[in-house]
């Protein structure tokens, strides 16, 4: 997603009045990659977690905010790293599709436990083929898409769901040129509000 779109694709902007405005002080951004899109959310502190050290190093260098703690860890270890309800908001933006479906469900469950007020997931609708690190930082393994997600996956566990159009950068995302998709795709944005 082009950087200029990041401020417009926050859960605050996508979900409007459904989002708990003014209540979010702490954010856990799981699989933050280079972008740390959470830095566009109004909050006091961000914990940005990623498994690939070069992404965290680049994210720190290009960050627009200073209130970010960077954690180098596997997303599947968040249950061991943080206590339940440690963060007001937990984000899985462009993350869950990088896991096999069973592991994606496990990650989603762990993230839900860590969220005190809300959780936000953003993922392609259906399967979007990708196995290349388009940033060329050696993260092909971590950028590979392994699962497909649909609105019903999130609705059945209490998430509000919106589907929006998105046009990814026109770069090769797969080692097999026939697998690279260009043009508009659909994205799922899912928000869980905890009461």
Q: Distances from the Cα of 136 to the Cαs of 6, 72, 143, 190, in angstroms?
A: 21, 19, 11, 29
- Do 82 and 110 form a contact (C-beta atoms < 8 A)? no
pLDDT digits (tens, 9 = 90+) for 125-137: 999 888 888 888 9
pLDDT digits (tens, 9 = 90+) for 139-164: 889 999 999 999 999 999 999 999 99
Global pTM reads: 0.93
Domain of 77, in residue numbers: 3-193
**DSSP of the chain:** --GGGGGGGSHHHHHGGGS-TT---EEEEET-TTT-GGGGS--SEEEEEES-HHHHHHHHHH-S-S-EEEEE--GGGHHHHS-TT-EEEEEEET-GGGS-HHHHHHHHHHHHHHEEEEEEEEEEBB-----S-TT-SS-HHHH-----B-HHHHHTTT-EEEEEEE---SS--SSSGGG---S-EEEEEEEEE--
Report the CATH number at residue 22.
Answer: 3.40.50.150
Q: How many angstroms separate the CA atoms of 104 and 87, rounded?
A: 20
pLDDT digits (tens, 9 = 90+) for 27-82: 999 999 988 999 999 999 999 999 999 999 999 999 989 999 999 999 999 999 99
Q: Mean of the pLDDT values across residues 6-18? A: 90
Give the model's confidence band at 183: pLDDT under 50 very low, under 70 low, under 90 confident, else very high.
confident
Total tally of structural domains belonging to the chain: 1
Q: What is the pLDDT of residue 166?
A: 85
């Amino acid at each position: 997603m082009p950087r200029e779109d990041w401020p417009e694709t926050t859960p605050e902007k996508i979900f409007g009045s459904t989002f708990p405005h003014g209540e979010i002080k702490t954010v856990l951004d799981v699989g933050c990659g280079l972008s740390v899109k959470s830095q566009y959310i109004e909050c006091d502190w961000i914990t940005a977690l990623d498994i690939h050290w070069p992404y965290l190093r680049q994210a720190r260098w290009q960050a627009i905010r200073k209130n970010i703690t960077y954690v180098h860890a596997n997303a599947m270890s968040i249950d061991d790293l943080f206590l339940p309800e440690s963060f007001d908001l937990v984000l899985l933006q462009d993350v869950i599709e990088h896991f096999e479906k069973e592991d994606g469900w496990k990650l989603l469950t762990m993230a839900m436990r860590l969220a005190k007020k809300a959780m936000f997931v953003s993922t392609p609708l259906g399967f979007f083929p990708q196995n290349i690190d388009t940033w060329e930082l050696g993260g092909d393994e971590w950028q590979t898409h392994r699962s497909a997600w649909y609105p019903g996956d999130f609705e059945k566990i209490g998430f509000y769901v919106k589907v929006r159009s998105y046009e990814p950068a026109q770069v090769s995302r797969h080692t097999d040129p026939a697998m690279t998709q260009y043009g508009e795709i659909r994205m799922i944005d899912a928000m869980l509000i905890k009461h």
